[in-house]
Structure 1
């Protein structure tokens, strides 16, 4: 019997006495539009919802279109506003301590520790340098002098990028500005100076300021007033920014005297929503000194009522409202997170959002805080000559403690969180 051949495409198929045309075979002539055909504004809405910077970096390697969008400065600014930069570790007087497993940032932190130079050996070797501030992966240092009693009010400053091993020496404060705060009368207490980074504001960010741009503020504590100068890398110059008499800050005479005499090194400084905050709990004054970087003005704000230990941390709670971490009670109990219901630089109507339980048998300390992270240190309460200190990070949104590392330490002060990979000081940013 002759074997029946299978029907070819489009040929009729016999079914008894009836013939039916066979269905056409599908072809690939018409396919769905690829993802790269999505308009950029819709693709941006998709990519900005990626959960982490690592995911954005991976997807940017998929194609040229993705990379072009993921490296766009305006897109990156929006992405960074929604996603906290990675917490990679902290630096203290002994060096840099990267986050160790099982901390989620451990792989990136290890890569940074291997690639960066946190001894700053690339700086001019004829000087000794001390860290003043760390922000967005950059480090601000000032020159140390062998004889501290001869330390000038305005010493040399340098901004460096330890990852790319680059630095920029800042010019000296001009003589006319320096003369406005220098006192030659030996009966007048010598002014004290502190320097730190001044973040780029939202308006400047919206104006597409280059990622290489940075600003530094120099704040001088005099006997009768506060004064500030600001350096901008865009102009390469210092300018006078703000000045305020202690007596104009709505203080009692006793409070004004006490606040003017404390060295700024011992004051805890935090930044949130365009304002710097300093608390004065170290001298038992329950007030916040506020410096608004948008209006360049000083003011005072009251801390919420209650019995606080000598540490608070100001953070960004979201929707323009301030958050504050405060200790209540003994060494182990009572880390509270409270939020000011009033938006703006003068917080009021604080409300407790959460009480965070801590393990007993330890002494806890708020080491540092950024807008989105808290650094906690803890040591055993039993007396030890050289105690082991454990360090933990806490995300403001999750309020989850995550162990960074542990080290032998007797000095629990001067630790600074290191977040984000720095954009180079001299070239365009990359992912």
Structure 2
């Protein structure tokens, strides 16, 4: 029976996942042609959430491993396949062994969609030399990004810097934003590949970005401490020269590269928690502010009505951890947030003997945690538009 193209398209749009769509594309030339159509891909993306391939973490993990997957890597970065796709995706396709093996141990510093931002630095004399790479593991493509010209030769003590991936503004699918500090002030420069006409990127593609009208503080923004990433955006809080903080939360929108701010509840002592609060994704994909203080975990969410942050959940750790393997009554006195990830945080509860627990931000369930997943878990999606037949195994 021959289906009309419109009917075939309507059927294919109802395929439940991107991986299943890739399998369908390998069925026959007609299906592949229909799926490769730009209009079809646009409709499919509007109906289905992006497919998560898995998560990248820095440092070598210690057991127990998430999903019982033992990662193997030659670099201090490992990949954990998504549980929903682990049977369909060969994790080997997400190895980073295609990056130049020039003795540089790179770490993931950001991810966006199917892209990773890798960073490494070393010192020559007192100056810092940097290696910055944007890569797409599944397609094994990478681009080296030159350092901002104002940072070349700068020392670590004279210029702190962080790098972030944001959406492209033209034909390119990415830009890189650099946050750095000089003369007791925060500066932002943005790298746009579309600004470079040559085959190799040059430092002239970095441009200064003025954020003075986006973030208004009494004395200007002198230092922003990074809290974490949620809903595709990065969050920071403002500190003064004495490391005291206000209740201002600063947001870097990963889609536009623009900055904005919101206010945390004024009745909370945020300065007291300056080293023990973070931002992470909730299970609904919306941001959550998490704090650990006086034996409690508190989760704040932004209200839909007025856009104000409000307490959503509170957990008394002493009650929650009692009975877990390795529990000691004095553990509760040594709280520290180790890792923030999609829908969870990992806490260290012991100063001398490492003992960690994971807190689910939806259910507030506490379970034994993984000790060394790094500060952040970096989510990686399958490329879009899809790379047909790139990651599907050969099973019929």
Give me the TM-score of the superposition, normalised by structure 1. Answer: 0.62
Report the 3-state secondary structure (helix = DSSP H, G, I; strand = E; otherwise coil) of the residue aligned with 1:55: helix
Q: Does structure 2 conserve the Cα–Cα contact (< 8 Å) formed by 1:137 and 1:419?
A: yes
**2:4 corresponding residue in structure 1:** 37
**1:302 corresponding residue in structure 2:** 263
Aligned ranges 1:48-63 → 2 under 5 Å: 48-63=13-28
**Residues 53 and 148 of structure 1: CA distance in aligned 2, closer, same or farther (over 3 Å):** farther
Q: Does structure 2 conserve the Cα–Cα contact (< 8 Å) formed by 1:314 and 1:325?
A: yes
Of 219, 244, 266 in structure 1, the residue corresponding to residue 179 of structure 2 is: 219
Report the 3-state secondary structure (helix = DSSP H, G, I; strand = E; otherwise coil) of the residue aligned with 1:66: helix
RMSD: 4.7
1:261 and 1:233 mapped to 2: Cα distance? 30
Shift of 1:226: 2.1
Of 277, 300, 305 in structure 2, the residue corresponding to residue 341 of structure 1 is: 305
Higher relative contact order (CA 8 A, sep 6+): 2
Report the 3-state secondary structure (helix = DSSP H, G, I; strand = E; otherwise coil) of the residue aligned with 2:158: coil
1:286 and 1:80 mapped to 2: Cα distance? 37
**2:115 corresponding residue in structure 1:** 138
**2:74 corresponding residue in structure 1:** none
**1:150 corresponding residue in structure 2:** 127
**2:346 corresponding residue in structure 1:** 377
Q: Does structure 2 conserve the Cα–Cα contact (< 8 Å) formed by 1:93 and 1:414?
A: no
**1:285 corresponding residue in structure 2:** 246
Q: Does structure 2 conserve the Cα–Cα contact (< 8 Å) formed by 1:140 and 1:158?
A: yes
Report the 3-state secondary structure (helix = DSSP H, G, I; strand = E; otherwise coil) of the residue aligned with 1:57: helix
**2:34 corresponding residue in structure 1:** 69
Give me the TM-score of the superposition, normalised by structure 2. Answer: 0.66
- Count of equivalent residues: 349
Report the 3-state secondary structure (helix = DSSP H, G, I; strand = E; otherwise coil) of the residue aligned with 2:33: helix
Report the 3-state secondary structure (helix = DSSP H, G, I; strand = E; otherwise coil) of the residue aligned with 2:32: helix
**1:94 corresponding residue in structure 2:** 60
In structure 1, list runs of 5 or more residues that go unmatched.
Answer: 1-32, 343-347
**1:21 corresponding residue in structure 2:** none
**1:326 corresponding residue in structure 2:** 290
Shift of 1:225: 4.0
Q: Does structure 1 conserve the Cα–Cα contact (< 8 Å) formed by 2:339 and 2:347?
A: no
Larger Rg: 1
2:22 and 2:226 mapped to 1: Cα distance? 38
**2:340 corresponding residue in structure 1:** 368
Q: Does structure 1 conserve the Cα–Cα contact (< 8 Å) formed by 2:188 and 2:209?
A: yes
2:23 and 2:364 mapped to 1: Cα distance? 27
**1:268 corresponding residue in structure 2:** 227
Q: Does structure 2 conserve the Cα–Cα contact (< 8 Å) formed by 1:375 and 1:392?
A: yes
**Residues 105 and 47 of structure 1: CA distance in aligned 2, closer, same or farther (over 3 Å):** same
Q: Does structure 1 conserve the Cα–Cα contact (< 8 Å) formed by 2:192 and 2:206?
A: yes
**Residues 87 and 296 of structure 1: CA distance in aligned 2, closer, same or farther (over 3 Å):** closer
**1:194 corresponding residue in structure 2:** 162
The superposition leaves residues 73-132 of structure 1 with CA deviations (integer Å, 9 ceiling, x where unpaired) of 5544554454143252331222799851599933744755434334x4741414343332
1:38 and 1:419 mapped to 2: Cα distance? 33
Shift of 1:133: 1.8
Q: Does structure 2 conserve the Cα–Cα contact (< 8 Å) formed by 1:87 and 1:417?
A: no
**1:16 corresponding residue in structure 2:** none
In structure 2, list runs of 5 or more residues that go unmatched.
Answer: 70-79, 322-331, 392-396
**Residues 251 and 333 of structure 1: CA distance in aligned 2, closer, same or farther (over 3 Å):** closer
**Residues 219 and 73 of structure 1: CA distance in aligned 2, closer, same or farther (over 3 Å):** farther
Q: Does structure 1 conserve the Cα–Cα contact (< 8 Å) formed by 2:230 and 2:286?
A: no
